[in-house]
Structure 1
Amino acid sequence: MQNIGIIGIGDMGSGIAKNLIANGYSVTGFDHLASRMTAFTDMGGRPADRPAAVAKASEAVFVMVMTGDQAKSVILGAEGLVAHLPPGGAVILSATIKPREAREIGQAMAGSGIHLIDTPVSGGFPGAQSGTLTMMAAAPDAVLDQFKPVMQAVSANIHRVGTEPGDGQTVKACLQSLIGAQFSATFEAAALAAKAGVPGQVLLDVFSTSSAGCGVVNNALEKIIDRQFEGTGSHINTMHKDLTISMGLGEELGVPLHTAAAAMQIFHAGRTRYPDGDNWVCTRVIEEIIGAELHRKIDT
């Protein structure tokens, strides 16, 4: 297996494409934005003008789009992947969508001769670019065994979380409810420190060496104290969308998600006030309320 496709070549998809190319795969890709296509071509990718062209050139195709409707369009449409992939090929659904939407895609693909691997990812922009993503993969074992090498090219951890479409998305929804809570707690703690006059570096030193320290908290706090609120590869729209999925699953199953609901509102406020910002920009909304900002050092 040497020919792999990618649909959606943004912050996450570009990292997947880069690491596939670095591992010796011939990668054909498509994105609606010309700037992304130019960057993809510059890294050694083969540009295509539509999803069907990607499918015809590939044995497996990663789908890294934003929404379930977009995923359905590029997978199931007349110019989509299922209609044009060779028999035995695979759609690797690495986008985060609603579990119900993944099940609907799987049902529509039944009998097509094309495999669906439902495998949303975690690790964000750094994980995508470094090839160290965590994959929550759901498909029959034989399918996962067959396509494991190409998935290993972009990930450090592949967890087999189920066999049916939607299983991967369900695990991702649970994960994002936790990550959203970690983010929002970090934003509030940063604002509390700012108002109390604690330097950001002090807070980072303590948090990162305590039991609360983790990749999510440490990275968010680094971005906050260095005032990096845009262009870090973690646009607020993505986490806002993911929390919406988590909350929807909770409502569907009758599970109260009190902490995730609070995180949802913090991200909603951040996206409303700073629609072009990244996740950490939520802190700025709280800072504006309290009249204090957290910087790495306190000006003297």
Structure 2
Amino acid sequence: MARAKSVAVIGLGAMGLGMARSLLRGGFSVSGYDIDADALAALAKAGGRSAASVADAAREAEILVLVVVNAAQVESVLFGADGAAAVLKPNAVIIASPTMAPQEAQDFARRAGEAGLLYLDAPISGGAAKAEAGRLTVMGSGPPEAFAAAEPALDAMAETVYRLGDAAGIGSSFKIVNQLLAGVHIAVACEAITFARSLGLDISRVFDVITRSAGNSWMFENRIPHVLAGDYSPMSAVSIFTKDLGIVSDLGRRQKFPLPVTSAALQLFIMTEAAGMGRDDDSSVARLLAGISGLTLPGMDGGAEEG
């Protein structure tokens, strides 16, 4: 059991709620805030304290874990009205997990330091199941004192913590490389399973065969069951990859680095979001491709469930 500490978790979605529960199991006192009342109720049921605002959650915290969507939300949570930076204890550490451009992480670290706070650039990977199990991968960068302050909480939330450098922005750069691969793999998995449907194949059998063959990927194995079940409840929304591959594209343009495969995948996510599926699971790219091609998949009109 970790020594009892006060931790605030801001953002109690699929990842943040699992992380909060992992912290509770680790012996931490956990307060949390989210705009979703159901998420707050779930935290309270797990033994945490549901806060009325960001500032209310952060006021007594020694560690602040940010599991929000993007840099704009980090800005609001830390430095906006009723923000955390103004109420956190001196030398409290911010563990910032959102995917963002490295320059944004560097700016937040500088401003946190000016406010007397430590900042750890700590993007995460692993998905909701690993968040719940305390088995995430953390791509961390920041000064040694930030790692030291964050270590007890990281031990509760993560199976693997990479220390990638002493400066914020390095962790975010690693995460961007991961998101390039993740987004492309999701898009091509959706393309492959929909192509299999166009060939008249039993896509459940395709899934069985491919997951035991060289063409398999973690994303194919993780996302295609959503397609087979016709269940697009968001574990990771389409809009996440519109954002993340957009960051990759922006960085590539700034560096004059060609990203042709990323660009194709990004357009698929943009098209899926434009078709009204932005808040649905990112495997909805398969529905987009099926609709364009006049095909049906499980959960679509005329698409029988396959077992």
TM-score above 0.5, yes or no: yes
**TM-score, structure 2 length as denominator?**
0.91
Matched ranges for 1:112-127 at <5 A: 112-127=115-130
Compute the displacement of 1:201 (Å). Answer: 2.1
- Match for residue 100 of structure 1? 103
State how far apart, in whole Å, the 2-side matches of 1:214 and 1:192 are: 17
Moved more, 95-104 or 85-94: 95-104
Paired residue type of 2:186: F
Match of 2:151 among 148, 151, 155: 148
Contact 2:189 2:224 in 1 (8 A): yes
Deviation per CA, 1:104-145: give whole Å up to 9, x if none. 111212343210001111112222222221111011234313
Matching residue's letter, 1:15: G
1:162 CA drift (Å): 2.0
SS at match of 1:117: strand
Q: RMSD of the TM alignment (CA)?
A: 1.9
- Aligned residue in 2 for 1:199: 202
* Residue type of the alignment partner of 1:34: A
Q: Provide the TM-score with structure 1 as the length reference.
A: 0.93
1:243 to 237, 245, 252: 245
**Amino acid in the other structure paired with 1:243:** L
Rounded to whole Å, the distance in 1 between the matches of 2:6 and 2:279 is 35
Q: Deviations over 1:242-262 (max 9, x none)?
A: 111111111222211111111
Structure 2: any 5+ residue segments left out of the alignment? none
Aligned to 1:212, which of 211, 215, 219? Answer: 215
- Deviation string 1:41-73 (CA, Å, 9 cap, x unpaired) is 122111222222222221101011112121012
Partner of 2:51: 48
| SS at structure 1 position matched to 2:109 | helix
Identity of aligned residues (%): 29
What is the aligned partner in structure 1 of residue 269 from structure 2? 267
Written as runs of structure 1 = structure 2, the 5 A alignment for 1:1-300 is: 1-77=4-80, 79-231=82-234, 233-273=235-275, 274-294=277-297
2:95 and 2:150 in contact (8 A); partners too: no
Report the more deviating stretch, 94-103 or 179-188.
Answer: 94-103
For 1:96 and 1:56, the matched residues in 2 are separated by: 25
Instruction: Report SS of the residue matched to 1:153.
Output: helix
Q: Secondary structure at the match of 2:138?
A: strand
Q: Secondary structure at the match of 1:58?
A: coil
The size of the alignment, in residue pairs, is 298
Letter of the 2:257 counterpart: V
Displacement of 1:280: 0.6
Any gaps of 5 or more consecutive residues in structure 1? none
Paired with 2:112 and 2:54, the residues of 1 have a C-alpha distance of 16
In the TM superposition, residue 4 of structure 1 has moved relative to its aligned partner by: 0.7
Question: Could you tell me how far apart the structure 2 residues matched to 1:184 and 1:14 are?
Answer: 27
Contact map agreement 1:199 1:294 (CA 8 A) in 2: no
1:270–1:72 Cα change, 3 Å: same
| SS of the residue 2:128 aligns to | helix
Q: Would the aligned equivalents of 2:123 and 2:138 in 1 still touch at CA under 8 Å?
A: yes
Contact map agreement 2:144 2:166 (CA 8 A) in 1: yes
CA displacement 1:74-133 (0-9 Å, x = unmatched): 112353222221122101001122222111111212343210001111112222222221
